[in-house]
Amino acid sequence: MTIIIDYGVGNIFNVLNAFRKIDPDTKLSADPKAILTATHIILPGVGAFEDAMKALKTLGLDQTLIEAVDMKIPVLGICLGMQLLYEKSLENGTWQGLGLIPGTIDLFDKDAVSTIPHMGWNNLVHTAKSPFANIEGYAYFVHSYLAPLDPQYVYAYVDYEKSKVPAIVGRGNVYGMQFHPEKSSALGAKLIKQFYKLTQEAL
């Protein structure tokens, strides 16, 4: 059973639709007990980092997610959900994240890019260690903040003007996608399938 964390931020129905096509037993939940029985956990999210983190904390789900990772349940963060996996974010202040991946989320360097948000389809470039390297093509991005380009955790990035933007990141059983796989047409579906394949092998 796949659980999509339902913590009241953003539109999660598209995420639900996309994951149900791959794991029909996909549910929305904010219940820590249910979440800890999942085979896979999806952390979606759009909007502001601060609001999202507060919502997770209010529901006690920050601890649940950390516990789930300790229990080796694979977690996939999508868009803002990916950014929440990091230690902290500098989005309109300084905010603590879940700390599951080391590093700080920051605004695009305005000298490197002319247009913010980074919005549209961009071509994935896989790093040597990418477990998704067999899947090439364009994914749909929309975000104004980005993760650090730390080679230890970046599986794929995209070139956006003079900036290299981490697109797929991971550490152990924790994965993150900065783009929206649920909105990335056939390529997105392939990436989701690969996430299941990788994590089943890991289990």
Partner 1 sequence: MLAKRIIPCLDIKDGKVVKGQQFENVITIADPLEIAKYYSDTGADELIFYDIMASTEDRGPFLNLVSEIAKTINIPFTVGGGVKSIDDFDALLKSGADKVSINTQAFLNPHLIKEASLKYGAQCVVLSVDIKKVADDYIVFTHGGRTNTGRTAIDWILEGIQLGAGELCINSIDADGSKKGFDLPLLKSIESKVTVPIIASGGAGDKMDFVKLFKETTISAGLAASIFHSKKVSIPEVKFELQREGIPVRSYFAPLFDAKLIPAIVQSAQTSVVLMLAYVNAEALEKTITTGYTHFYSRSRQSLWFKGETSGNKQALVDLRYDCDNDTLLMRVDEAGPACHTGSYSCFNQMPEDKNVFTQLMTVIEDRKANPVEGSYTNYLFEKGIDKILKKVGEESAEVIIGAKNSKEELLYEMADLFYHSLVLLANQNIDISELEAELKKRFK
Cβ atoms within 10 Å, residue 32: 15
Q: Does the protein bind partner 1 through residue 121 (CB under 8 A)?
A: yes
Q: Which of 28, 133, 142, 149 binds partner 1 (CB under 8 A)?
A: 142
Stretch of residues binding partner 1 (CB under 8 A), selected from 29-37, 67-75, 108-116, 169-177: 108-116
Q: Can you list the alpha helix ranges (DSSP code H) found in 21-122?
A: 32-35, 49-58, 61-70, 80-84
Q: Go through the chain and tell me how many residues it has.
A: 203
* Pairing of the two strands 75-78 and 40-43: parallel
Q: Hey, which residues between 38 and 77 contact partner 1 (CB under 8 A)? A: 46-48
Cα gap 190→28, rounded to integer Å: 22
Q: Smaller CB distance to partner 1: residue 56 or 73?
A: 56
Cα gap 39→44, rounded to integer Å: 16
Q: Smaller CB distance to partner 1: residue 5 or 187?
A: 187
Tell me the sheet residues that pair with 171.
Answer: 174
Q: Which of 177, 180, 191, 199 binds partner 1 (CB under 8 A)?
A: 180
Q: Does the protein bind partner 1 through residue 104 (CB under 8 A)?
A: no
- Least distance in Å: CB of 49 to partner 1? 10
H or E element: which one contains 1? none
Q: Is 127 exposed, middle or buried (0-12, 13-18, 19+ CB in 10 A)?
A: middle
- Least distance in Å: CB of 173 to partner 1? 26
- Contact residues for partner 1 (CB under 8 A)? 10-11, 13-14, 17-18, 46-48, 114-123, 137-138, 140, 142-144, 158-161, 180, 182-189
